[in-house]
Amino acid sequence: MPYKIAVANEKGGVAKTTSVVSLAGALVEMGHRVLVVDLDPQANLTLALGLKPKDVTHSVAQVLLNSLDPKEVIRTTEVENLDLLPSNAEMGLAERFLPVRQSYDTILRSSLSNNLPYDYILFDCPPALGAITLNAITAADMLVIPTQAEYFSAYALKSMMSAIRKVRDQSNPNLNYRVFITMYDRRNRTHRTLLEQLQTTFGNDGLLETIIETDTKLRESPIVGIPIMYYVSRTRSAEQYRALAQELIHDVEKIKVRTAA
């Protein structure tokens, strides 16, 4: 079974989509086969991988609302072994109508229950704790929360922790989570101070060691529709996302060993 990772934060602008694309690229580069799932009505992940949402005839919304087989929706990308379950404007309907369904929070998990031929599935969630994000967290083995080392972004982590407790209590008791820092500027005193506070709050088990710093090249890669490591292989952010992928894989292996025991 693929290991499923939801990338989510109630706060927007924390590099969720960039992190999904970059993590996926790093995992593929390491020899894994990866599916990314665009759950955001803005469809930025779909755009970032070179597909225009208006050209998407079958989207993940139809998987959620009409029980369409994901295999009929999955699209290949320019990167071999990196596939996409795309989004378009229909995702707004999913957010609106999912809550009227019985056991609506488990629909995504059930839709992906068949043995899909991937090592990892990454969910790119909208910047809200609505029905779609709840579906992703319920389906995930791990929730990864990108956050800036800034007050409003760090404050939003309170809501994310509440969501984790809710999902663990109701539908996904084995959900793990990790927080990591994005768009970090080492010269910024506020960033350094909030990083120390996050390290104290979450410790080594909750906060990932790898930090993603600001990088102009990282903003350019969505324009060409490929992950950063396939655009500029040796840029700082490419190396940092490789390190982040390695750290996550290490954590996943530890979790699997602990669960098996």
Domain ranges of the chain: 3-260
Best CA proximity match to 60, nearest among 40, 77, 76: 40
Please provide the CATH number assigned to the domain covering 3-260: 3.40.50.300
The confidence score (pLDDT) of residue 260 equals 81
pLDDT digits (tens, 9 = 90+) for 113-138: 888 999 999 999 999 999 999 999 99
Is the model's pLDDT at 152 over the cut of 90? no
Looking at residue 113, its pLDDT comes to 86
Q: Residue 47 above 80 pLDDT?
A: yes
- Closest to 171 (Cα-Cα) out of 120, 124, 135: 135
Q: What is the pTM of this model?
A: 0.96
Helix H segments across the chain?
16-29, 44-48, 60-66, 91-97, 107-111, 131-139, 151-155, 157-170, 189-206, 216-224, 228-231, 236-260
| pLDDT tens-digit series, residues 221-247 | 888 899 999 999 999 999 999 999 999
